Amino acid sequence: MSVISTNIQMRKVIVSLVLFILCYSLKSQVGDSEQPNILWIVSEDNSPFFGCYGDEFATTPTFDKLAKEGILYENAFANAPVCAPARSTIITGMYPPSMGTQNMRSTYRTPESIKFFPEYLRKAGYYTSNNSKEDYNMIKPAGVWDESSKEAHYKNRKEGQPFFAIFNLTVSHESSIHKSIPNDKLRHDPAKVTLPPYHPDTPEMRHDWAQYYDKIEDLDGQVSEILIELEEAGLAENTIVGYYGDHGGVIARSKRFVYESGTHVPMIWRFPKKYEHLAPAKPNSKIDRLVSFVDLAPSVLSLVGVEIPTYMHGKAFLGNQDTTPREYVHLFRGRMDERIDMVRAVRDKKFRYIKNYMPHRIYGQYIEYLWRAPSCKSWEDAFKAGECNEAQSAFWNQKPPEELYDVTLDPWEVNNLAGDSKYTEVLERMRKETNRWMTEIRDTGLMPEGEMSTKNSTQYSFDFAHSNAYRIPEILKAANVATLRDRSNLRELKEFMEHENATVRYWGATGCLILGMEADSAKNNLLKLLKDQNADVRITAAEALCNIGKSDLAIPVLIEALSNENLMVRVHALNSLEIIGGEVAKSSLPAVKKVIGQRKGREYDIRAGKRLIEFYE
């Protein structure tokens, strides 16, 4: 063979080899870029009561198996300890206090620039289905889901279309303990329940805990059915599975409270071999990284290759847009149903700091829905009978301005370290972080809800809170001073009550309300506020005056507020009247009956009004 022929043959071999490499490379790239399906399983109202989280009393073979096949997150948190605000966080990737959606079951509008994250998935070609709870705590825009109903399912998509499918499971919801199952029908023995140190040992308490573990076992079975269905459909190898509980729960002092029991949630992610490159660790791993619900939306977008919007507060912890781990997770509580409260908290890997902005309200404010559980009523009865120790009695007393817990040594959070000088540095660090975060997100919770809901007619104005008109530094300073319960701050509180900004005046009056009788020297300032243009300021001043023996002047203001067209102003007045109690509350009953008699349904003013009548008639 000639040299020329040999060279030609060599060239043919080289070209063939190059073509083979190019084709293989292109094939690999297509395979690597193929969008994964995402199956998202959500359970309601449960802390990590699973065997894979070390709970030996739990019966959870499915979750335990899922954890072995996947990645278990040891430090996953709901940013809010109740469903609607928590889901508001998830669907937007933003902190609700920045949007005005932190109070339970609000319907405020957000700007068009803030999208519900499934919209981005739809634009990327995904079939999005939600079965079936929404409860976003805000007005839902159009175009979020291809299907959101009890029949919604990934099987309804076009052939070959990638899917993002949510299945919400309600079997573990708080309502599951409202009706007691007979002891002999329970699968978990009430006598073997290990009670938290803050719960009294009552038969009802043991029963509700045992019944709840039965519901967790039922949940495990439902998750098994969903995973089997995925396997039988031949989709398991193309689908990333994510599971989490939507907040802690459900026995009193868990759901609705920013403790570990209300915010620490189970979270497990399983990646098929095809998508291991998107996973943060190998199967059967446990990760102690701090993650929270605000991080879920950007993490899903990261998994499917969609660029994360810059407005999102959350940070991706999965996929190609993974970020540096957080040092803190931020937590919040607003109004829960008919009871007004405000709490902010921050958690690192060792400590939890809690700032109570309404320390004059007890932890265990009566909430009609919470009291449906026999365990809650038995706890209250035990306290009234003098049968509770210090840790068990704390729930029925006013709150301290600040709380600090070492969750590694005190997982049930009963030993408040805020007053311990050994932890001063930790306290100051976490207090500073809370203030930084509240300022950064423009925390709207500093406004009383009655005021907030009057912005922009009857709908909350996002633009207002994120403009210079919302004077967050002055307001936050006033709120922090007011909540210290320190009589030496009276001079500053009086200055706040003279301020041109209504929210600053509100916190000045709140500071006097918190001080009680010690605010007597601010009487004239409070009297002046009875004529304030802001209804929440008037109500707060009236309640504070009742504390210092000036109820005769305050009663007309509170009764007038009961007929205010603003629902949250009425709820505020009803809360105040119940706390004041005595003859003041009794004198308001005709007006309360008139107001709730004109209304139907289960609005929060009706619930609070009925309780007031029941208690003081």
Give the H/E segment covering residue 495: helix 490-497
The rounded distance, in Å, linking the Cα atoms of 4 and 615 is 107
Contact status, residue 131 vs residue 165, Cβ threshold 8 Å? yes
C-alpha torsion sign, points 369, 375, 378, 382: negative
Give the rounded distance of the alpha carbon of 342 from its chain centre.
Answer: 12
The rounded distance, in Å, linking the Cα atoms of 570 and 559 is 9
Bridge partners, 45 (sequence order)? none
User: Which one of 23, 52, 83, 546 is the catalytic residue?
Assistant: 83
N-term to C-term CA, the chain: 114
Q: How many helices (H) and strands (E) does the chain have?
A: 21, 13
Residue 106's closest CA among 439, 444, 434, 354? 444
Q: Is 83 a catalytic residue?
A: yes
**Non-local CB neighbours of 43 within 8 Å, separated by 6+ positions:** 168, 169, 171, 172, 219, 223, 243, 244, 245, 246
**Non-local CB neighbours of 41 within 8 Å, separated by 6+ positions:** 166, 167, 169, 223, 226, 241, 242, 243
Contact status, residue 309 vs residue 92, Cβ threshold 8 Å? no
Contact status, residue 167 vs residue 151, Cβ threshold 8 Å? no
HEC profile of 303-359: HHCCCCCCCCCCCCCCCCCCCCCCCCEEEEECCECCECCCEEEEECCCEEEEEECCC
Contact status, residue 208 vs residue 6, Cβ threshold 8 Å? no
Angle between helices 551-561 and 567-580 (to 10 degrees): 150
Indicate the pairing of strand 351-356 with strand 402-406: antiparallel
**Non-local CB neighbours of 572 within 8 Å, separated by 6+ positions:** 340, 448, 449, 450, 535, 536, 539, 561
The rounded distance, in Å, linking the Cα atoms of 38 and 165 is 6
The CA-atom distances, in angstroms, between 594 and each of 538, 563, 599, 605 are 21, 9, 9, 12
Structure tokens, 344: 């902010």
Q: Which residues does the annotation mark as catalytic?
A: 83
